[in-house]
Amino acid sequence: MRIVAAKKLLKANDLLAAENRAKLAAAGVACVNVLGSPGAGKTTLLEALFAAFGPRTRPAVIEGDIAGALDAERIERLGVPVVQINTDGACHLDAGMVAAALGDLDLQAIDLLFIENVGNLVCTAGFDLGEQLRIVVLSTVEGDDKAVKYPAIFQGSDALVITKCDLLGHTNFDPARVAADFRRLAPDGRVFQVGATTGDGIPAMVEWLLAIREDR
Amino acid sequence: MRIVAAKKLLKANDLLAAENRAKLAAAGVACVNVLGSPGAGKTTLLEALFAAFGPRTRPAVIEGDIAGALDAERIERLGVPVVQINTDGACHLDAGMVAAALGDLDLQAIDLLFIENVGNLVCTAGFDLGEQLRIVVLSTVEGDDKAVKYPAIFQGSDALVITKCDLLGHTNFDPARVAADFRRLAPDGRVFQVGATTGDGIPAMVEWLLAIREDR
């Protein structure tokens, strides 16, 4: 009974996700679903990317949060179009919420859309939003055992972004361990090591994202 | 329809939680539900507490993880009784899982039980496990905006433990901000600042936990 209900909900989500995907493709917008724990540094990563993109792309953001608009305010300060979704307690975004947010964006005016999901290394993995790519953000201060402990989210991601690498010297985090665990789960996945506040590693991510946008 | 099903599930959980609570009270075991994001430092905090308790308590741990037994292996190395729950994808422990785990512990041989929940700052908040106290663990490297963004888990907690305070100088984390946000949500809550790897702040937590155990 419990399982049947969950399957029905997921099926409805998949239908809406397919509609979102078709709508974005028709408008020529590349879309990246950004996943990770609370505090992994998702918003700070976006801020660093936007500063580095310069005029080469027309980005926008859908911010998912349980409550408040702190992250959306940070994005707005950069002059990047942003729509805030408040899930009102729900632990992940779903395709229906994203469909509503897409209605509030001018898709003709953008070409690279980031969806910053609710901070959650578990539940967000199960919901396709209609994105083209998924990236999972893991900070060096969260511990290097996370791919083993939360495999689903790593398995479904196209890239792992290891953030807060400027703090590597202060932790026992081994980037090689988590990269190896990630590659076992996602053999074709890319791994980026960045320090968003120092800018280290950001240019490589920018080139990768611009290439994806070009392929769109 | 969706809401009704969720309410039914929660009601069943509450009944099982009440049974767990009665069983623990009858055995004179104090029980603490430990919540927080992946990588907040929950297991490291428990390791530091166990080292500091000495012979003054007889602790045990129920470890909740989606997959694997990495944390349980760390606890076992300390000679502390531990039961691992694998949720097999579920994003939080529920009272039924804890009831099963309690069956594997000798409650007469222990007096202070920690339940380390799945790393998740959202979903774990909604499920009573039958604990006496809840503590939420937040690390200095997760950002000081988390109580505003994830209010439910802070509102339901008896104490906030700010971990990784040895990294304070390397972050823009303001402990006063998060403590103020926490006190708005939980006016009677205690706030502890610890550095589990340095031992800072651990003695105050030990005294607090021993007093709770005495009151049992």
- Checking if the pLDDT of A2 tops 60, the result is no
Give burial (CB, 10 Å; 0-12/13-18/19+) of B169.
Answer: exposed
Of A68, A150, A166, the CB nearest to B149: A68
Any B CB within 8 A of A207 CB = no
Per-residue pLDDT, A137? 98
Distance to chain B for A56, nearest Cα, Å: 30
Across the interface, do A120 and B122 touch by the CB < 8 Å criterion?
yes
Residues of B in contact with A119 (CB under 8 A): 37, 121-122, 149-150
Any B CB within 8 A of A89 CB = yes
Per-residue pLDDT, A82? 95
3-state secondary structure of A134: strand
Any A CB within 8 A of B164 CB = yes
- Checking if the pLDDT of A1 tops 90, the result is no
If you average pLDDT over residues A114-143, what whole number do you get? 95
Strands (E), chain B: 30-36, 59-65, 82-86, 112-116, 133-139, 159-163, 190-193
3-state secondary structure of A36: strand
Any B CB within 8 A of A143 CB = yes
Which residues lie across from B112 on neighbouring strands? Answer: B30, B59
Please check whether residue B32 is in contact with residue B143, taking contact to mean a CB–CB distance below 8 angstroms.
no
> Within chain B, which residues score under 50 in pLDDT?
1-6
Per-residue pLDDT, A188? 95
Structural domains of chain A, count? 1
Of B91, B123, B142, the CB nearest to A39: B142
Distance to chain A for B57, nearest Cα, Å: 29
ipTM over the 0.85 cut-off = no
Closest listed residue to residue A84, CA positions, set A45, A58, A116: A116
Tens digit of pLDDT for each residue in A23-68?
999 999 999 999 999 999 999 999 999 999 999 999 999 999 988 8
Radius of gyration of chain B from Cα atoms?
A: 17
Distance, in Å, from the CA atom of A194 to the CA atom of B181, rounded to the nearest integer, reads: 30
Kindly list the distances between the CA atom of residue B115 and the CA atoms of B42, B82, B88, B94, B145, in Å, as whole numbers in the listed order.
10, 10, 17, 11, 26
Per-residue pLDDT, A68? 87
Tens digit of pLDDT for each residue in A139-198?
999 999 999 999 999 999 999 999 999 999 999 999 999 999 999 999 999 999 999 889
Residue A56: count other Cβ atoms within 10 Å of its Cβ: 13
Q: Measure the CA angle with vertex B81, ends B163 and B75; round to 5°.
A: 35
Residues of A in contact with B170 (CB under 8 A): 166-167, 170
Residue-range definition of the domain harbouring residue A7: 2-215
If you average pLDDT over residues A73-85, what whole number do you get? 94
Across the interface, do A149 and B2 touch by the CB < 8 Å criterion?
no
Contacts of residue B54, defined as CB under 8 A and 6 or more positions apart, other chains included, come to none
Which residues lie across from A85 on neighbouring strands? Answer: A64
Give the tokens for residue B172: 């823009």
Any B CB within 8 A of A136 CB = no
Closest listed residue to residue A162, CA positions, set A201, A213, A121, A203: A201
Test mutation, A121, A127, A154, A181, chain B, max B CBs within 10 A: A121
Residues of B in contact with A170 (CB under 8 A): 166-167, 170
Tens digit of pLDDT for each residue in B111-127?
999 999 999 999 999 99
Distance to chain B for A203, nearest Cα, Å: 23
Distance to chain A for B172, nearest Cα, Å: 11
Any B CB within 8 A of A65 CB = yes
Please check whether residue A93 is in contact with residue A120, taking contact to mean a CB–CB distance below 8 angstroms.
no
Per-residue pLDDT, B93? 93
Closest listed residue to residue A20, CA positions, set A9, A31, A36: A31
CA atoms within 13 A on the CB side of B45: 30
**CATH number of the domain encompassing residue A89:** 3.40.50.300
Per-residue pLDDT, B44? 97
Distance to chain B for A142, nearest Cα, Å: 4
Per-residue pLDDT, A8? 63
Across the interface, do A38 and B118 touch by the CB < 8 Å criterion?
no
pLDDT band at A3 (very low <50, low <70, confident <90, very high): very low
